[in-house]
Amino acid sequence: MTSIVRASIRVEGVVQGVGFRPFVYSLATRLGLAGWVGNDVDGVFAEVEGAAACVKQFLGLLETQAPPLARVDRVTAAAMAPTGAAGFAIVASDHSGRRRALVSADSATCDDCLAELADPGDRRFGYPFINCTNCGPRFTIVTGVPYDRPLTTMAPFTMCAACAAEYHDPANRRFHAQPVCCPACGPRLRLIDTRSGDGAGDPLAEAARLLADGQVLAVKGLGGYHLAVDAGSQAAASALRARKHREDKPFALMVADVAAARELCEVDETGQALLASARRPVVLLPRRPGAPVADAVAPGNRQLGIMLPYTPLHHLLLAEVGRPIVLTSGNVSDEPIAYTDDDALERLAGIADAFLTHDRAIHIRTDDSVVRPLRGRETLLRRSRGYAPEPLGLAARLPRPVLACGAELKNTFCLAVEDRAFVSHHIGDLENFETLRSFTDGIAHFRRLFDTEPEVVAYDLHPDYLSTRYALDLDCIDLAGIQHHHAHIASCLADNGEEGPVIGVAFDGTGFGTDGTIWGGEFLLADLAGFERAGHLEPVPMPGGAAAIRQPWRMAAAYLDAAYAGEVAAGLEVAGRNAGRWPDVVAMARRGINAPLTSSAGRLFDAVAALLGVRDTINYEGQAAIELEQLADPAERGAYRASIDAGAAGPGGGAGPLRVRGADLVRAAAEDLLAGAAPPVIAARFHRGVAAAIAEVCAALRERSGLGTVALSGGVFQNLLLLGQVVDLLEESGFRVLTHARVPPNDGGISLGQVAVAGARDRRDGR
């Protein structure tokens, strides 16, 4: 005898605006179940009734066969008394209560839509705004919640009868696809020639002609405007650099497909999966020798940043152009990317010769994400379009909602409630009004979108960060100041769903220390709630303060002076190249005037880069260190050795922090250089020396603390050569090693760490 059961079911996660209800409808109908399904503030709810085996099968398939854009976090089911009612229905949404449903990230055009785009018989043939429930714009067009067409930037477009029929048909791929549209009712493409006004003819053909002609084209994308040129044209790429005032920082490329990517780069299995993923990030890949890309695209770089088309407009444009294009953010120098039409036309007028644009507004500026394959895994350098605002799960529940303001460079903020952390899209460097407005507008938007009032606001201890000032300006709210490197280690812990305690290695450029000096080469004994500074690089002066960041040769002067105790070896080219200012800078370092002390690992890499002649001044953050990594000979097996001093006893009589003498590494490099060793060999020995010092300090701290897990974080660990060596050495000596996976190791991950620390302190304090 078949037993009939009824179950009440709740599905949480990214389950709205992704075709989940039609999926439930067709699944239930297929299994012969009765009942209904609907949306509410928490996600999707349903009741199903039928044979016990079929209901069981239904529950299993809910997770395993969910639509491509759905992310099922939780399915809960409770037994009810069968009602005997027949039929299955999609019921109206219930909007009452606090909203917990999630907004999905933007997603690349799906294969079904691409097939229609290319089908001359389809009514959306060649239409640049084709989308469905399985693909298309989401986060960038959402103006509010619940996610419904009136609360998207598609609101001004009234659906035609044919689109409305698809939208209302539960069996259709476009059922409740909010951005659904067609040539009859949706957005339109337009080409604006900045000299002659509107372009005549087909905008796409004209855009392709301009690119082929070596001109600079602004293209409206999902999260902002890009600037495009023919990637093979040295003249066009150089013109773009000059007009953007961007000297060396590599441009990203867009190619038609994976095969085209293989012509430019080495693409392994992980790289291919990342390129083709629906998130469509920029993927950093090793450049092939002789790749047909102009030198000005990524000067002196062994890698190229490549992405595949992610909007129908990109697909059509790439097909029309027939070759790779540069597709870089639409801005001047370090300004935020332009995303509103008026702003783009104004700010990019001096850069672009023409605009390929349209009338669907972008609600929130969202830059391209940047990732890199590492040992078969994805690692993030920038988490933004295609990822935000998907929440990251937290291992422990937050007692109170937290807003974390992040740091200064590569800023993200994070709004977190219960066990979900909504890390924002990339905001950028908070050093001008436009970025600050992105930051404050973004926070307001997230508060509405996720219906969350923060009760704790976490911020960096640096008093001058704009994100810190924003936090300190808020009234009537609990504040949690969190040390920068503790936030890095907490970020790595939260990224891995762990709570510590661990030995944390936080190596980066700059962070405000609890003693008022600049930290950045730190060994912490840390859990989420607190930390002890157990070791660090021996501090050296930064002659000229911020000038020493822009001019690595100043760090070479400071480090060489420390290494040789004032008697710098003669014959070093770095001193010769900067002879005019060298004595003054050395004097500044010695007197300590305008020369703050720093234990920054970034500055140590800068010093060695300048010493080896990699470069004396930089044009973008981290440039010298990036080029030093690329210079290093991967086959070299030698390593310099840094002495490690037991620190002076602390005030309580316990052991003080261990001090790693970075100057020893600089001295060894200088002596090798004077002895005629090749710079690639020296760069490699330096990297291996830093890795060995990290492993040695961790081993000493394991003796002291009994901890066997190491967490690695901070921007310096974007250096894959260093990261690989450190992980290998630590694992060889029996450590368990945690690295980043879901957020970047750089300051883009700080906000997640701040959330984790604020939550842990709340739990410690019994909140």
- Contact (CB, 8 A) for 331 and 129: no
Part of the chain binding Zn ion (CB under 5 A), chosen from 54-62, 113-121, 282-290, 398-406: 113-121
What is d(CA 157, CA 573) in angstroms, rounded to the nearest whole number?
A: 65
> Min. distance of Cβ 122 from Zn ion in angstroms?
12
> Min. distance of Cβ 134 from Zn ion in angstroms?
5
| Rounded to 5°, angle at Cα 13 from 417 and 479 | 10
The one among 182, 227, 436, 466 contacting Zn ion by CB under 5 A: 182
Between 70 and 526, name the residue whose CB sits nearer to Zn ion. 70
> Min. distance of Cβ 181 from Zn ion in angstroms?
5
> Min. distance of Cβ 322 from Zn ion in angstroms?
24
Question: Three-state SS across 204-222?
Answer: HHHHHHHHHCCCCEEEECC
Part of the chain binding Zn ion (CB under 5 A), chosen from 55-63, 184-192, 210-218, 701-709: 184-192
> Min. distance of Cβ 14 from Zn ion in angstroms?
16
134-153: contacts with Zn ion (CB under 5 A): 134-135
Buried b (16+ CB within 10 A) or exposed e, 523-541: bbbbbbbbbebbbbbbbbb
> Min. distance of Cβ 112 from Zn ion in angstroms?
5
- Contact (CB, 8 A) for 367 and 422: no
3-state percent helix, strand, coil for the chain, nearest multiple of 5: 35, 25, 45
Question: Three-state SS across 68-87?
Answer: CCCEEEEEEEEEECCCCCCC
Q: What are 210's two structure tokens?
A: 């301009």
Whether the upstream peptide bond of residue 324 has omega within 30° of 0, thus cis, is: no
> Min. distance of Cβ 390 from Zn ion in angstroms?
19
The one among 9, 11, 54, 132 contacting Zn ion by CB under 5 A: 132
Contacts of 75 (CB under 8 A, 6+ apart): 9, 10, 11, 12, 59, 62, 63
Between 173 and 246, name the residue whose CB sits nearer to Zn ion. 173
Part of the chain binding Zn ion (CB under 5 A), chosen from 5-13, 155-163, 472-480, 640-648: 155-163
Between 9 and 182, name the residue whose CB sits nearer to Zn ion. 182
Part of the chain binding Zn ion (CB under 5 A), chosen from 176-184, 326-334, 393-401, 633-641: 176-184
Task: Lay out the site mask for Zn ion across 253-292 (x = CB under 5 A, - = otherwise).
Answer: ----------------------------------------
DSSP calls for 154-172: TTTSPPPHHHHHHHH-TTS
Q: Quick check: 18 binds Zn ion (CB under 5 A)?
A: no
What is d(CA 360, CA 220) in angstroms, rounded to the nearest whole number?
A: 10
CA neighbor of 39 nearest in space, from 145, 158, 185, 183: 145
Part of the chain binding Zn ion (CB under 5 A), chosen from 85-93, 156-164, 435-443, 745-753: 156-164
The one among 51, 61, 160, 212 contacting Zn ion by CB under 5 A: 160
Part of the chain binding Zn ion (CB under 5 A), chosen from 180-188, 237-245, 317-325, 380-388: 180-188
Determine the 3-state secondary structure of 111 from DSSP.
helix
The one among 90, 91, 185, 474 contacting Zn ion by CB under 5 A: 185
Between 110 and 738, name the residue whose CB sits nearer to Zn ion. 110
| Rounded to 5°, angle at Cα 380 from 375 and 386 | 125
> Min. distance of Cβ 20 from Zn ion in angstroms?
15
Part of the chain binding Zn ion (CB under 5 A), chosen from 103-111, 562-570, 582-590, 635-643: 103-111
Between 67 and 596, name the residue whose CB sits nearer to Zn ion. 67
Q: Quick check: 222 binds Zn ion (CB under 5 A)?
A: no
Between 134 and 411, name the residue whose CB sits nearer to Zn ion. 134
- What is the size of the binding site for Zn ion (CB under 5 A)? 10
> Min. distance of Cβ 766 from Zn ion in angstroms?
49
DSSP calls for 275-317: HHSTT--EEEEEBPTT-S--GGGSTT-SEEEEE---SHHHHHH
Between 178 and 725, name the residue whose CB sits nearer to Zn ion. 178
> Min. distance of Cβ 138 from Zn ion in angstroms?
12
What is d(CA 754, CA 520) in angstroms, rounded to the nearest whole number?
A: 17
Q: Quick check: 113 binds Zn ion (CB under 5 A)?
A: yes
Q: Quick check: 53 binds Zn ion (CB under 5 A)?
A: no
Q: What are 230's two structure tokens?
A: 């023919």
Cα end-to-end distance, the chain, whole Å: 53
Part of the chain binding Zn ion (CB under 5 A), chosen from 60-68, 73-81, 162-170, 527-535: 162-170
Between 7 and 110, name the residue whose CB sits nearer to Zn ion. 110
> Min. distance of Cβ 193 from Zn ion in angstroms?
29
> Min. distance of Cβ 114 from Zn ion in angstroms?
8
> Min. distance of Cβ 425 from Zn ion in angstroms?
22
Between 123 and 190, name the residue whose CB sits nearer to Zn ion. 123
- Contact (CB, 8 A) for 662 and 694: no
What is d(CA 696, CA 700) in angstroms, rounded to the nearest whole number?
A: 6
Determine the 3-state secondary structure of 197 from DSSP.
strand
Part of the chain binding Zn ion (CB under 5 A), chosen from 115-123, 125-133, 195-203, 597-605: 125-133
> Min. distance of Cβ 106 from Zn ion in angstroms?
12
> Min. distance of Cβ 307 from Zn ion in angstroms?
19
CA atoms within 13 A on the CB side of 383: 30
Between 186 and 399, name the residue whose CB sits nearer to Zn ion. 186
Between 53 and 164, name the residue whose CB sits nearer to Zn ion. 164
Q: What are 147's two structure tokens?
A: 């996610």
Q: Quick check: 163 binds Zn ion (CB under 5 A)?
A: yes
The one among 110, 216, 402, 586 contacting Zn ion by CB under 5 A: 110
Whether the upstream peptide bond of residue 146 has omega within 30° of 0, thus cis, is: yes
CA neighbor of 646 nearest in space, from 658, 634, 664, 629: 658
> Min. distance of Cβ 46 from Zn ion in angstroms?
24
CA neighbor of 230 nearest in space, from 258, 253, 203: 253
Between 221 and 715, name the residue whose CB sits nearer to Zn ion. 221
Contacts of 357 (CB under 8 A, 6+ apart): 189, 190, 191, 192, 218, 219, 220, 225, 341, 344
Contacts of 749 (CB under 8 A, 6+ apart): 412, 488, 491, 492, 495, 713, 740, 743
What is d(CA 253, CA 233) in angstroms, rounded to the nearest whole number?
A: 13
Between 132 and 284, name the residue whose CB sits nearer to Zn ion. 132
> Min. distance of Cβ 255 from Zn ion in angstroms?
21
Part of the chain binding Zn ion (CB under 5 A), chosen from 131-139, 250-258, 280-288, 329-337: 131-139
Between 80 and 184, name the residue whose CB sits nearer to Zn ion. 184
- Contact (CB, 8 A) for 261 and 323: no
Contact residues toward Zn ion (CB under 5 A) are: 110, 113, 132, 134-135, 160, 163, 182, 184-185
